[in-house]
Structure 1
Amino acid sequence: MTDYRHALIIILVMGLMTLATRILPVLIFGRGEKVPDYIMYLGRTVPYTAMGLLIVYCLKDVSIASAPFALPEIIAMAAVIGSYLWKRNSILSVVVGTVLYMFLIQVVF
């Protein structure tokens, strides 16, 4: 199969899966029906759980015993927390933390 056909198939499948995730809740719960309490509970708790999992995954290989002693990670996390507390903007905080971390590991450390 040629590369462009392969890419087209991948894009189509991804588009269909994205569409399915948007339509499936409407088909399951209908329009106007009350959403079950356990689904509401999952909607409130899963985002925090996912963020915690991502933090643990990102920091699992950080070594505090060897140079740079996790300084880039600590500085970037402090910048994320500080920028979020300052502006209350999640996207801005992620961008600030990512740019600062990349700068620290590429240029400074």
Structure 2
Amino acid sequence: MLTPQAAVASIAVMAVVTFLTRALPFLLFDRGAAPPKIILYLGKVLPPAIIAMLIVYCLKDISFLAVGGWAPQLISVGVVVALHLWLHNNLVSIFGGTILYMFLVQVVFV
């Protein structure tokens, strides 16, 4: 349990770090010049790499011993892919897959 002073200090540090992560790109890169090529490259490569890592992390504990251990995850992943290919909307894909997964886990594969 944090003391009130430690809680305030923690919140202050988190606020400063959050502010710096938002303000730093504007401070580092001149508005008139194009960003460095490495930044443009990372902006293209990192989002798909992070999504791929999240998929691997979410599917790492699948158990193929029973249908309920693998079917909800794989069905939901398929629906996320289909929704994204159809609508090209990340939020719809993520929320659709999450809602379907929760429905399958709590209602169908109990």
Q: Structure 2 vs 1, CA of residues 101 and 41 (structure 1 numbering), >3 Å: closer, same or farther?
A: same
What SS does the aligned partner of 1:30 have?
coil
Q: Report the Cα distance in structure 2 between the residues aligned to 1:101 and 1:13, rounded to whole angstroms.
A: 36
Q: Report the Cα distance in structure 1 between the residues aligned to 2:23 and 2:89, rounded to whole angstroms.
A: 28
Q: Count residues with an aligned counterpart.
A: 107
Quick check: 1:60 aligned with 2:54? no
Q: CA deviation at 1:64?
A: 1.8
Q: Any idea what the Cα deviations from partners look like across 1:9-54, whole Å, max 9, x if unmatched? A: 4444333222111111122222222211111101100001000000
Q: Report the Cα distance in structure 2 between the residues aligned to 1:72 and 1:66, rounded to whole angstroms.
A: 11
Amino acid at match of 2:98: T
Structure 2: 5+ residue stretches without partners: none
What SS does the aligned partner of 2:15 have?
helix
Structure 1: 5+ residue stretches without partners: none
Q: Report the Cα distance in structure 1 between the residues aligned to 2:108 and 2:14, rounded to whole angstroms.
A: 39
Percent of paired sites with the same residue = 42
Quick check: 1:28 aligned with 2:28? yes
Q: Any idea what the Cα deviations from partners look like across 1:44-95, whole Å, max 9, x if unmatched? A: 0000100000000110011123332511011111111121222221101100
CA RMSD of aligned residues (A): 1.9
Quick check: 1:82 aligned with 2:78? no
